[in-house]
Amino acid sequence: MKTKTSFTRSRLIPGIVIIVTGLLIFLLFAINTQPQVTSRFGMNISASSEAIQIPDLVVPAQTGIYVLALVTVFFGAWQMARGIRSTGALIGIVAFSFVASFLIWATQGKSFNMVGMLSSSLVRATPIALAALCGVISERAAVVNIGIEGTMLLSAQAAVISATVSHNLYVGLVVAILTGGLVAAFHAFMVIRFKVNQIVSGVAINIFATGATSFISSRYLEKHTDLFNNSGTFPIISIPLLSKIPILGPVLFENSLVVYLTMLLVVVLQVVLFYTPWGLRTRAVGEHPKAADTLGIDVFFVRYVNVIIGGMIAGLGGAYFTIGSVGRFDEVMTAGKGFIGLAAMIFGKWNPVGAFTSSLIFGFTDSLQVKMQILGTPIPSEFLLMAPYIVTMIVLTGIVGRAMPPAADGEPYEKQ
Amino acid sequence: MPVLELKGITKAFPGVLANDHISLTLEDGEILALLGENGAGKTTLMNILYGLYKPDEGEILVRGKNADIHEPNDAIRCGIGMVHQHFMLIPVMTVTENVMLGIEPVKNGLFLDREKVARRIREISEQYGLEVDPNAYVKDLPVGTQQRVEIIKVLYRQADILILDEPTAVLTPQEVEGLFKILHTLVQKGKSIIFITHKLKEVMAIANRITVLRGGRSVGTVLPAEMNPEKLASLMVGRQVSLVVEKAEAKPQGMTLEVKDLFVRDDHGNLVVNNITFEVHAGEVLGIAGVQGNGQTELVYSLTGLLPSLSGTIHVAGKPIQNTSPRHILEQGVAHVPEDRQKHGLVLTFPIHDNMVLCTYYLAPFARGVVLQEQEILATSEKLAKQYDVRTPSVFVNAGTLSGGNQQKIIIAREFSRPIKLLIASQPTRGLDVGSIEYIHNRIIEKRDEGTAVLLISSELDEILALSDRIAVMYKGQFVDIVPAASVTKEYLGLLMAGIKPENAPAAPSGQRTIEVDL
Amino acid sequence: MTEKPIQPKKEEKAPASGQIRQALLVPALAVLTGLIIGAIIIIITNEKAATAYGNFFGDPLAALFASWEAVATAYGSLLVGSFGDPGKIINGLGILFSTGDSSKFIRALYPLSESLVTATPYIFAGLSVALGFRAGLFNVGAEGQLFIGTLASAFVGYSLVGLPWFIHLPLAILAGALGGALWGAIPGYLKAKTGAHEVVNTIMMNWIAFRLSDWLLNGPMKAPGFRPITPQIETSAELPRFFADPLRINWGFILALLAAYGVYWLLFKTTIGFEIRSVGLNPDAARYSGMSIVRNTVLVMALSGALSGLAGTAHVLGVDRWVGQGFSAGYGFDAIALALLGNSHPLGVVLAALLFGTLRSGATRMQSMAGIPIDIISIIQGLVIIFVAAPAIIRWLYRLRNIKSDTTVMVRGWGK
């Protein structure tokens, strides 16, 4: 067959990219690293943590980066010569080497709390994951909800106001979830009943939410902070025994309620979507609504329920911003997390577990950016702040793992 | 007592009366054919029966009792099952999941019980001779098997009245035989069947009784024994129909299209055109027959620049065009009547005049520099609309408001009026009424006689036989054989369409002959 | 085959007046409904009215009167803020005729001038979004493109010294257009080549633009001093004003009207526009007939970005003459409402921009006089988007029949 050329090329280009990455590691980091200097990575979140203390990881900076650069070049050469089957593994190796050498370079001569960063990655991934789960559950039923950002913003404000007024964080949580459900119900009503273009409706929700929350903020919250906008936050709950495991303990089992709920939701949604009648129907409605209709499934009902449940999940995500982390509302505090969540959903191939895993990548980027500012790298903080957005755009190009959305995604269903 | 009775069913859509007081009865254990040409109201009637449309008037009786059917669930409850013309299957799900959808059994009170359904599917398979693997994904199954899944879906819901909407459209002649066998088994086991079709010969072969629809009305119910195809055709169309496309013998000249060792992958990365070589001469029609989904679509896409080819060469009038842009290919004198006229052929929300210049808007006299010349566009469109019999009040009307036949005529007008060397016509008469079919067939032959090379792709074997001078049969991305049309039988083509190439081909008697178009 | 409904044959070219009334009715009612809901919000959030409603059954008239007073004060100051105080205008005219002193009159016209000044960037940004809609692209990134365009033109405006105005001004305008075009073309290219959805990508580009401008204003482009602002642009790069201070109406407004005509001409009179509209309405058919989706997508996004860039350029060269943090009042987001309201037609966009220009500039006065936060305009805009996108609601609310809604907006789902 003459198709051989294209196979060779498909092997060659990634190979070259990997080798270039290896060289970049060398040029950017290895050259700028002092010999004899070490990088210290903290393996305990803090002295007060319940986890069993373990020694820190100390890496000789320059040697470490040289090794990583060599490993990368080696894999690039391997790819060019023989080809590596799994694209995922390939990208994983390259991304790991690059990030690891970046960290070693940035930490040289200093100390960097690794476990602290992993822990904050999970926390920072939480709102993104919730937005992504909202997207998954709606889009599996073929309703695109681009208004997640606005939904979270409204819920965040509703949560903090109700929690402050009632002096009860759980009231805030419930109100946030209900607000999310209400906004999503509005979206569902618009796109299902009135066949409004799904993206237009979502954008309208975002604009409305920005206006409404800013309006309430400047009308009430700014003047009466203690009355309305000072709720406190959910405490950290340590899970007995499990939280004692080194590294994993502080990262996974010393968190606040919202984080635990998120992890629980991931599992529940995965099971519901693929092992229950409701999940089967949801996916059928997302793939081929007409077929579902001919089998007596109420397409509209399935869509309403999924979108509203999705909205409630986004509402929980909104609660994270206020009562889950800082205890007060600031204007436009969601800062694009809703959209990043949508990217995580796409990258996660419309699966709850996949969406959560890719949210962790974004959470990691986000938390890395914060830690880098603390470490004081020569990169301006504004550029570090761009990192999550740039990663989102890269993910969306589909260079890494492209998946097909549900076949009917975004299309209104016309019942004759 | 009949199992099913429809009385005075009436349904109007904006501007068209689709069903006008239609009545019919279905007796227990019979196959009733519902015959009518495209647009006669067959599908509307059946969608009403299945609860997908609401009738404006009329009533439905199931086993003598008034049946209130508002949605598919009601129909299913009445024991009515429907196999739709476009399969209602979800490709990314398994056979089991498709069958269980809507009435899922659960275990532990919560979780899908796939095993139970798979067992039941195997039972049904055995009982009615419907072989299928319950764990296979639908997207991996051939069309014939997908149809069996549809029938199993209906039987799983314990339907005893089966409606099959144009079930043979996607099958090879041999698969049609197989389907008929299954239908006979079903009837023997006590099911009653309504068989919707526009194909006369099938009706004669399978039906116990035939109800004929024309223009939304029932024009009578007849017995096959009292009928012949000519009589049925005039009943169906309402006038004498010439069943033959008049054409002289082709006078092929030089080579216009030359395809060599072509390989094409589809969007999902499957190799769908696998080493194809052929040529089309000026002044001849090469028909490509084959069951849908065997790579015909992708072959056409790669010829017209819509899909890149992996390797191989394509020459039009001596110039290589493989992997060049659609525009470059159009400019070489290639016309393309696309398979999906609403997706590719027209911008439905554009007025007719814009659609008429969709491929030529940037050329003189329609544009001067980048500025459109509206007067020229209007004048030309009006001329073409008249010349090609597009029935419309004016050329300002949006293309989307016209009937399928008139939409297709816009495309024909646009493509045929350009100076072309090669015409690629993909399913040119799909879903059209008899008048439009006759018109388009004659225009294609006219083009051939003017010396254009014609590549005709159709899943309607009769259309291929009526128009082609040579016939290529495509199966799983390859040409099984290319044969002269004058010396081939339908049965032989059927074998080729199933991928079987008999060593000693039964040659038809040579010499001049005519082939019927099955309407 | 389903029977295709055949529309009754009638001449499509209806009388022009009927057409215009049809085209205007839904948007006009949408704005009206938005204002009514805005009034309701004003009443709810007005303390006096709220107290009066507490005693509604005791004294219903007082409640209604308080409501009327709240709305009248708010919308009254809005009107005066938009068009000026009629008394002052007449008085100014009187003085002008009797003494020849025009200063009072000009001062009275200040609100009207401000409305047009606000409408200017709105026209540009609205055209930007409308052009995208015509090609089936939803440019939510007008704000970011505006930021980049503004900074680019300001940079040219202050850094080049000693050029004659007829070189410097066009250069500064060009720089603004190019900056925006670049920022628009990136998501356009990604959409065309990889299918990455432009909505998420343009939003990511917004955030990147915000961070980038933070950095530029605090670093490379910062004027000497403490405040994060650029130096004043050279006089040679200024868009001349029509009148003396304080009227800031300038040539930017004329440029905006010219741009609107230019977009109209491009869309409806040229082969380029024919392609853009074909791609927007049916990309498959466009590709079939030889148009390049990639080229058109990149072109439209670049042009759209250029228009957004010009929105900021006109403002900085004609009004502010320097750039500070947060210099855009959300023009890019409001533009979405304008494009929808104007049915993506340049004339419609101009009318919508004039409307929202007056609303927005009047709202500034409303904020100071009636204490209604300016964000109420965003709320109204969100509502207007919904109403315009779902004419069914308007039809239902006002019991209208037979309003044809030909939607030009076609935004598609992910990766399709």
Average pLDDT rounded to a whole number, residues B347-352: 93
The model's pLDDT over C234-269, given as tens digits with 9 standing for 90+, comes to: 999 999 998 887 889 999 999 999 999 999 999 999
Average pLDDT rounded to a whole number, residues B250-278: 91
| Residue A97 near residue A25 (C-beta atoms within 8 A) | yes
Measured between CA atoms, the residue of chain B closest to residue C278 is B347
Q: Which two tokens stand for residue C70?
A: 């709240």
- Highest mean pLDDT among B137-146, B162-171, C273-282, C335-344 belongs to C273-282
- Residue-level pLDDT at B512: 40
Chain C residue numbers with beta carbons less than 8 Å from the beta carbon of B306 are: 287-288
Average pLDDT rounded to a whole number, residues C121-129: 96
The model's pLDDT over B51-94, given as tens digits with 9 standing for 90+, comes to: 888 899 999 999 988 988 998 899 999 999 999 988 999 999 99
| Residue B180 near residue B206 (C-beta atoms within 8 A) | yes
- Return the H-helix or E-strand segment holding C267: helix C251-269
| Residue C147 near residue C312 (C-beta atoms within 8 A) | yes
Rg (CA), chain B: 24
Q: What's the angle, vertex CA C1, arms to CA B515 and CA C2, rounded to 5? A: 155
Mutation target vs A (from B92, B106, B275; most A CBs, 10 A cutoff)? B92
| One-letter amino acid of B439 | Y
Better-scored residue on pLDDT, A1 or B235: B235
pTM, to two decimals: 0.86
Q: Quick check: A192 pLDDT over 80?
A: yes
| One-letter amino acid of B181 | K
The model's pLDDT over C192-211, given as tens digits with 9 standing for 90+, comes to: 988 888 888 998 999 999 99
How is residue B458 annotated by DSSP?
-
Mutation target vs B (from A5, A280, A288, A294; most B CBs, 10 A cutoff)? A294
Percent of chain A topping pLDDT 90: 38
- Residue-level pLDDT at B99: 96
Alpha-carbon distance values, B223 to B207, B240, B283, B326, B427 (Å): 8, 20, 44, 52, 32
Mutation target vs A (from B90, B150, B265; most A CBs, 10 A cutoff)? B90
Q: What's the angle, vertex CA A390, arms to CA A386 and CA A394, rounded to 5? A: 170
- Residue-level pLDDT at C128: 97
- Residue-level pLDDT at C18: 62
| Band (A126; pLDDT cuts 50, 70, 90) | very high
Phi-psi region of A46 (alpha: psi -120 to 50; beta: other; left: phi over 0): beta
- Residue-level pLDDT at B268: 76
State which CATH number among 2.40.340.10, 1.10.287.610, 3.40.50.300, 1.10.1060.10 fits the domain covering B4-237: 3.40.50.300
CATH number listed for the domain at residues B242-333+419-519: 3.40.50.300
| Cβ under 8 Å to C: A residues 390-409 | 390, 392-393, 396-399, 402, 404-405, 409
Q: What is the mean pLDDT of chain B?
A: 89
A243 touches chain C (CB under 8 A): no
- Residue-level pLDDT at C246: 83
Measured between CA atoms, the residue of chain B closest to residue A302 is B102
| Residue C239 near residue C251 (C-beta atoms within 8 A) | yes
For residue B195, give the 3-state DSSP assignment.
Answer: strand
| Residue C176 near residue C149 (C-beta atoms within 8 A) | yes
Percent of chain A topping pLDDT 70: 94
**DSSP bridge pairs for B457:** B288, B426
B4-237 against B242-333+419-519: fold identical = yes
Alpha-carbon distance values, A293 to A135, A279, B93 (Å): 23, 16, 16
Better-scored residue on pLDDT, A288 or C10: A288
ipTM: 0.84
- Residue-level pLDDT at A161: 95
Alpha carbon distance B257, B317 (integer Å) = 6
Q: Which structural domains are found in chain A, ordered by start?
A: 4-109 (no CATH), 116-396 (1.10.3470)
- Return the H-helix or E-strand segment holding A391: helix A381-396
The model's pLDDT over B438-495, given as tens digits with 9 standing for 90+, comes to: 889 999 999 999 999 999 999 888 899 999 999 999 999 999 999 999 888 888 888 8
The model's pLDDT over B396-453, given as tens digits with 9 standing for 90+, comes to: 999 988 888 899 999 999 999 999 999 999 999 988 888 888 889 999 999 999 999 9
**Which sequence spans correspond to the domains of chain C?**
84-238+245-371
Write the DSSP string, B210-262. Answer: EEEEETTEEEEEE-GGG--HHHHHHHHHSS----B---PPP---SEEEEEEEE
Could you check whether the bond before residue C246 is cis, i.e. omega within 30 degrees of 0?
A: yes
Q: What is the mean pLDDT of chain C?
A: 86
State which CATH number among 3.40.5, 2.60.40, 1.10.3470, 2.40.128 fits the domain covering C84-238+245-371: 1.10.3470
For residue B310, give the 3-state DSSP assignment.
Answer: strand
| Cβ under 8 Å to A: B residues 111-170 | 111-112, 153
- Residue-level pLDDT at C13: 42
**Which sequence spans correspond to the domains of chain B?**
4-237, 242-333+419-519, 346-417
- Residue-level pLDDT at C404: 53
| Cβ under 8 Å to A: B residues 89-108 | 89-93, 97, 100-104, 106
Percent of chain B topping pLDDT 70: 96
- Residue-level pLDDT at C152: 96
Alpha carbon distance B396, B203 (integer Å) = 42
The sign of the dihedral angle between the CA atoms of A61, A62, A63, A64 is positive
Alpha-carbon distance values, B152 to A326, B124, B130, B507 (Å): 58, 7, 8, 39
Assign 3-state DSSP to chain C and report helix, strand, coil percentages, each to 5: 70, 0, 25
